[in-house]
Amino acid sequence: MQTASEQGFTVIEAIVALAIITSGVVSLAGLARQVTDTVARSRRHLAAATFADAFVAIRAGTPLAATAPDCLSRDTGGCFDTLDGEGRVTAGPASFVRRWRIAAIAAAPAPAWSLTVCVVPADLRASVAPAPGACVSRIVTETAP
């Protein structure tokens, strides 16, 4: 006569083992998706910050004029444009929206401006606040010729 331990797994033991393995695989798949989403989001924010910094560098060397105070929170004429995935201005489908605000600094001894540029992913353009890590600010002073 054989004992239960010599007969192998019972059907219930096999089902329990299969359920545990399935649960582990599903959990790993969910974790892999979260990691993939986080990496994609990080890449978009890095690209946005890079595009913002490049624009600040270009605008800092040009004559500046004050813009509307709400330029960073919505698409306001004269202080926004749309960019493709490479950071080029585009009239077609946009990957990013670039917004900038220029404000005079009244207390400065020489003419000075606060220049802030925020680049947000196009799918977040309706958001009032820019995406984290996508804004660059600089104080720009005008020098006498």
Residue 1 lies in a domain: no
Residue 23 lies in a domain: yes
Count other C-beta atoms under 10 Å from residue 112's C-beta.
17
pLDDT greater than 50 at residue 144: no
Residue 74 lies in a domain: yes
Residue 122 lies in a domain: yes
Give per-residue pLDDT as tens, 129-143: 655 558 888 888 875
Residue 3 lies in a domain: no
Higher pLDDT, 117 or 3: 117
Integer Cα distance of 15 and 24 in angstroms: 14
Residue 135 lies in a domain: yes
Residue 4 lies in a domain: no
Residue 112 lies in a domain: yes
pLDDT greater than 90 at residue 35: yes
Structural domain including 66 reads 9-141
pLDDT of res. 34: 93
DSSP per-residue letters across 49-64? HHHHHHHHHHHTTS--
What's the total number of domains in the chain?
A: 1
Give per-residue pLDDT as tens, 97-119: 999 999 988 877 778 889 999 89
Give per-residue pLDDT as tens, 42-90: 888 888 888 988 998 888 888 888 899 888 888 888 899 999 989 899 9
Which residues on neighbouring strands pair with residue 101, listed in sequence order? 116
